[in-house]
Structure 1
Amino acid sequence: MADGDRNRVLRELRRSRIAVIGLGVSNQALLRFLLARGVRHVAAGDAKTQDSLGPAAGWLASLPITLRLGPGYLDILEDADIVFLTPGIRKHLPEITAARDRGARLSSEIGLLLELCRARTVGITGSAGKTTTTLLVGDMLARSGRKVFVGGNIGTPLIDRCLEFTADETIVLELSSFQLQLVDRSPNVAAVLNVSPNHLDVHRDYDDYLAAKKTIYRYQRPGDWVVLGADNAETFRMAQERAAAYRELGNDGSSGDDDGLLDGNGRPRDGGRGNLAPADGGPGLALFGKAEPPGSLAGTDVPYRAWVDGDHLVVTTAGSPAPVALCPTAGVRLRGNHNLLNIMAAALMTVLAGGRLDAASQVATTFQTVEHRLEPAGELDGVTFINDSIGTAPDRTEVALASFPAPIHLILGGYDKKIPFDGLGEIVVECGKVRRVVLLGETAPKIRRAIEAAASLAAGRGPNGRIPGPRGADPHSRDSSPHGPESPGPPPMVEVSSIEEAVREAFAGAEPGTTVLLSPACASFDMFPNYEVRGAAFKEAVRALMAKREPGA
């Protein structure tokens, strides 16, 4: 952003009445930023009371702001000119809708960061894989010699420093649908990894959720780039929509302007700006998938692509249309085929943001597990415990189940995000791996019914309840039925009331070689503040179980 535009935004903030709704970590940072920049008419509110806010309550009370906590906190919207909403709040609440109808502008901490920041920006969203891919891009760019800052939905809020960033620095942001629903700027390099139903407890409906995801590239300009998954139906549809608006490029990916925007390796010299000029002012397009993505969509070249070619991940660029090996699949340390997709997406974003492909290759083969994502949590009597607390939706649980062999004892359940569990029931029954299910949280009865319904449906298909070609099962295995060769019913299920009890029940009857997998398919908010706390509690419960089995314990 030009200095004149930044100064205009800051002047608007200083002369406006500001309301900050929600007082979590990101909006606390926003308050610090606003007050440090001379903004004086600030009101802040949260549904939590002073006691439930904890240590932050004292600090908030010391600020020169109007503070409203607990019932009636949305009353501060009545005379607001600009409203900064916390991620996760329903933007369709009547009080928020009324404020917007009165002319108030809705924004967010991330929206202001994108509006004021001089640095190149890379943004990653998707229903799954955001954090891992964001960290991969950060590491790949750092290995390329770039000065990189990682934030957004992970790490420390960056709004405090947004005026300090320079044009030769790069910010890599994990962006949730909650954060995206209020932005009117898009990152220079954006990615939508995948989309499946999620967070329908906050979004009005699935279309609202999908629209929020599309915001990550909606406001891009000529020379910006969007990286999309070719294997996911929704993201490939996005690619088709975008490609239909682009003009066709030559094989070298240039815009026809002899301005040297590509270097000798086919990388954009200024980090992904300028070498592609779509007819509608939209972004350039890059695709990744397990199979080779199309090199052209709607008559538009797609020079930047990545896929699995035999036993290697390969990449093409505008300067190198022939596939170049990124790394051998056997060299990837992250577990699961889904992480191959994350690595390919990260490599494309790295190159488009001005990084080096060789640096991306190095990170691809050295990057290890991110906490709470298929994380080993211990082993006892030949039974392996896996913490996948990030598994907050059924599609994540399906990925987790595909990452481990049978037998699996699966821990499911948690906060109800109003998403259906029919597909989850089919996954549990049809994957051919789950031998026991432990259910906890408010969704336990719904998940039990979904699994029972799927098993009942499966019992009517094929002899002895076998399902022809079960998803995820090995057709050559002697035990490719849902949970044992002779049982057409659902796997044994038990409901529990705590994570400690869940670990004990999942371990009960587990034979050597069994994986006890926490991948709940639900958020944690009914029992824990977030998935990180849930994952930590799971690991502590595993440690406690192991300690009881130690000699002399």
Structure 2
Amino acid sequence: MNGKLEQFKHGIKDKKVAVLGIGISNIPLIKYLVNLGVDVTAFDKNTSENLKDAYAELQGLPVKYSLGNEYLSRLEGFDLIFRTPGMRPDVPELAEAIAKGAELTSEMEVFLKLCPAQVFAVTGSDGKTTTTTLIYKILSAEGYNCWLGGNIGTPLLSKIDEVRESDKVILELSSFQLMTIKESPSVAVITNLSPNHLDVHKSLQEYIDAKKNIFLHQQAGDKLVLNYDNDITKSFSDEAIGECVYFSRAAGLEKGVIFRDNKIIFKDQGREVEIVDADDIVIPGVHNIENYMAATAATFDYVKPETIAKVAAGFAGVEHRIELVREINGVKFYNSSIDSSPSRTIAALSTFKNRVILIAGGKDKGIPYDPIGQIIAEKVKVLLLIGATAPRIEEAYNNYVHQTDIESEVKIIHCGTYEEIVSRAYSEAVPGDCVILSPASTSFDMFKNFEQRGNVFKELVSRLK
């Protein structure tokens, strides 16, 4: 029996609970709390007309609602408040409620406190979804009963009753989820860090500090996996509480996961174990070699090396990540809608040998775009732009060309809709070309999330004659 869980169930029944945000992760949370007999009020800035799907799922349940632009003005008299990850914890209404005695938490915070199983968790600016999925697949292939959650998979608090001590839980955690977390997983992985989400975080340092919560509350005997080639993550070893394990594609570490002679190798106390040849990894790109290195460092103590190699030879990648959608008249269309930052687009474009037709642009989240100029000059033949970041991406390219005085002939086209941009991409392509959606920007100007953006792109590509 999970004693912590039983205590939680008993204690929460007498509390008045607010759930902020009626989204994908919080609907299962609301259902779970109601089934426990909790008095729940759901808050959302959207109106009832915009929440038809959520209403349908919650129909018949004794849930109260506070909706519309002034929805937080009614945040009074609650004992416990579940924050949606995208909301800053210091908004005035929350601060006032906390000052009056309310406790602020989140679905993920409660799950980490109550989870009886060992938790592996991954964060970073790039590569965290693929690395999380790899860890899940490697541990599953070894025979463990695994749960996948956090930013991907199932909202796990609603499944907590089914999780057993012998299971393994694998989480992808964003900076928004980590901002207020005071429980760290026993195996924490940070893939890399670069400026990101500065439209929400007040500074780069606040973003970094949020990420550090993935390991700052670990215990002695826990493990922290860090990217040695990234200056920010490399520096975290000074604050590591448990064992620190590096992975590096560039350095010859005495201990950790290295890349040598085109192979991923685990080194420890003079012992070397070859894990997998890079040529046997199905998903392309140097960044995916690094993702496998991070996953190897996290799972090596729990699986056989051949299990990692088996997954590498069979795993074709995660949806919306350099996903081949269709080939039509010799033109290949790739969906990499997950690429919501310049660094992700740089990594995606680096996997192609020839110049591509790039679709980019979206919501501006306040991060630098200068680094993307070089990769566009080197890897793009036609650049199709859309959204608020379109002029910033074009400026980054133009600045690079001007500063380096190189010869570059990238055709730049601005579009207003995705229907137009997909049509123009196809009309500009010739047999042998690759068209890739890699926005280098978030999706929230036109879509609910990057998945919806990618699905719209795939639907439009499927309609091409």
- Aligned mate of 2:462, from 532, 539, 543: 543
Match of 2:31 in 1: 32
Residues 124 and 98 (structure 1), Cα distance of their counterparts in 2 relative to 1, 3 Å cut: same
User: Cα distance, 1:213 vs. partner?
Assistant: 0.9
Alpha-carbon distance in 2 for matches of 1:435, 1:164 = 51
- After superposition, where does 1:400-549 map in structure 2 within 5 Å? 400-429=348-377, 432-458=378-404, 465-466=405-406, 481-483=407-409, 491-545=410-464, 547=465
SS of the residue 1:306 aligns to? strand
SS of the residue 1:203 aligns to? coil
Match of 2:140 in 1: 142
Q: Give the letter aligned to residue 28 of structure 1.
A: I
Match of 1:316 in 2: 267
RMSD: 1.9
Q: Give the letter aligned to residue 327 of structure 1.
A: V
Alpha-carbon distance in 1 for matches of 2:43, 2:447 = 23
Alpha-carbon distance in 1 for matches of 2:455, 2:395 = 28
Match of 1:14 in 2: 13
User: Cα distance, 1:3 vs. partner?
Assistant: 4.7
User: Cα distance, 1:437 vs. partner?
Assistant: 0.8
- Aligned mate of 2:280, from 326, 331, 349: 331
Aligned 8 A contact 1:116 1:163 in 2:
no
Residues 321 and 107 (structure 1), Cα distance of their counterparts in 2 relative to 1, 3 Å cut: farther
SS of the residue 1:162 aligns to? helix
- Aligned mate of 2:51, from 50, 53, 62: 53
Match of 1:367 in 2: 315
Unmatched 5+ residue regions in structure 1? 244-281, 296-302, 459-464, 467-480, 484-490, 548-553
SS of the residue 2:113 aligns to? helix
Residues 60 and 293 (structure 1), Cα distance of their counterparts in 2 relative to 1, 3 Å cut: farther
User: Cα distance, 1:7 vs. partner?
Assistant: 4.1
User: Cα distance, 1:134 vs. partner?
Assistant: 1.3
Q: Bigger shift: 108-117 or 124-133?
A: 124-133
Q: Give the letter aligned to residue 434 of structure 1.
A: V
Match of 2:336 in 1: 388
Alpha-carbon distance in 2 for matches of 1:526, 1:376 = 25
Aligned 8 A contact 1:92 1:204 in 2:
no
SS of the residue 2:314 aligns to? coil
Alpha-carbon distance in 2 for matches of 1:62, 1:81 = 24
Which structure has the larger Rg over C-alpha atoms? 1
Residues 59 and 531 (structure 1), Cα distance of their counterparts in 2 relative to 1, 3 Å cut: closer
Aligned 8 A contact 2:223 2:244 in 1:
yes
SS of the residue 1:369 aligns to? coil
- Residues 356-387 of structure 1, C-alpha deviations (whole Å, 9 max, x = no match): 33212211222112111011122234332211
- Residues 164-210 of structure 1, C-alpha deviations (whole Å, 9 max, x = no match): 32211111111111111122111111101011111122222221111
- Aligned mate of 1:289, from 248, 269, 272: 248
Residues 293 and 228 (structure 1), Cα distance of their counterparts in 2 relative to 1, 3 Å cut: farther
Aligned 8 A contact 1:503 1:542 in 2:
yes
- Residues 463-487 of structure 1, C-alpha deviations (whole Å, 9 max, x = no match): xx22xxxxxxxxxxxxxx544xxxx
Alpha-carbon distance in 2 for matches of 1:63, 1:543 = 39
User: Cα distance, 1:391 vs. partner?
Assistant: 0.7
Q: Give the letter aligned to residue 443 of structure 2.
A: S
Aligned 8 A contact 2:325 2:334 in 1:
yes
1:306 matched to 2:257? The reply is yes
SS of the residue 2:463 aligns to? helix
Alpha-carbon distance in 2 for matches of 1:413, 1:153 = 23
- Residues 410-438 of structure 1, C-alpha deviations (whole Å, 9 max, x = no match): 11101121222222234323xx1212211
Q: Bigger shift: 335-344 or 126-135?
A: 126-135
Aligned 8 A contact 1:388 1:535 in 2:
yes
Alpha-carbon distance in 1 for matches of 2:98, 2:211 = 21
Aligned 8 A contact 1:230 1:289 in 2:
yes
Q: Give the letter aligned to residue 242 of structure 1.
A: E
- Residues 23-43 of structure 1, C-alpha deviations (whole Å, 9 max, x = no match): 112111111222222323x22
Match of 1:488 in 2: none
Aligned 8 A contact 2:34 2:63 in 1:
no
Aligned 8 A contact 2:229 2:251 in 1:
no
User: Cα distance, 1:94 vs. partner?
Assistant: 1.6
Residues 38 and 49 (structure 1), Cα distance of their counterparts in 2 relative to 1, 3 Å cut: same
SS of the residue 1:517 aligns to? strand
Alpha-carbon distance in 2 for matches of 1:443, 1:351 = 41
Residues 132 and 14 (structure 1), Cα distance of their counterparts in 2 relative to 1, 3 Å cut: same
When normalised by structure 2's length, the TM-score is 0.95
SS of the residue 2:161 aligns to? coil
- After superposition, where does 1:72-471 map in structure 2 within 5 Å? 72-239=70-237, 241-242=238-239, 282-292=241-251, 294-295=253-254, 303=255, 305-317=256-268, 321-352=270-301, 354-429=302-377, 432-458=378-404, 465-466=405-406
Aligned 8 A contact 2:18 2:42 in 1:
yes
Q: Give the letter aligned to residue 496 of structure 1.
A: C
The alignment-based identity, stated in percent, is: 38
User: Cα distance, 1:390 vs. partner?
Assistant: 0.7
Aligned 8 A contact 1:439 1:495 in 2:
yes
Residues 101 and 356 (structure 1), Cα distance of their counterparts in 2 relative to 1, 3 Å cut: farther
Alpha-carbon distance in 2 for matches of 1:207, 1:154 = 26
Aligned 8 A contact 1:117 1:163 in 2:
no
Higher helix share: 2
Alpha-carbon distance in 2 for matches of 1:422, 1:292 = 27
User: Cα distance, 1:327 vs. partner?
Assistant: 0.9
User: Cα distance, 1:306 vs. partner?
Assistant: 0.9
SS of the residue 1:32 aligns to? helix
User: Cα distance, 1:124 vs. partner?
Assistant: 0.8
Aligned 8 A contact 2:216 2:239 in 1:
no
Residues 23 and 330 (structure 1), Cα distance of their counterparts in 2 relative to 1, 3 Å cut: same
Residues 9 and 76 (structure 1), Cα distance of their counterparts in 2 relative to 1, 3 Å cut: farther
Aligned 8 A contact 2:31 2:58 in 1:
no
User: Cα distance, 1:495 vs. partner?
Assistant: 0.7
- Residues 283-334 of structure 1, C-alpha deviations (whole Å, 9 max, x = no match): 2111112134533xxxxxxx4x1121112111124xx642211011111101
When normalised by structure 1's length, the TM-score is 0.80
Alpha-carbon distance in 2 for matches of 1:229, 1:99 = 39
Q: Give the letter aligned to residue 288 of structure 1.
A: F
User: Cα distance, 1:396 vs. partner?
Assistant: 0.3
Unmatched 5+ residue regions in structure 2? none
SS of the residue 2:200 aligns to? coil
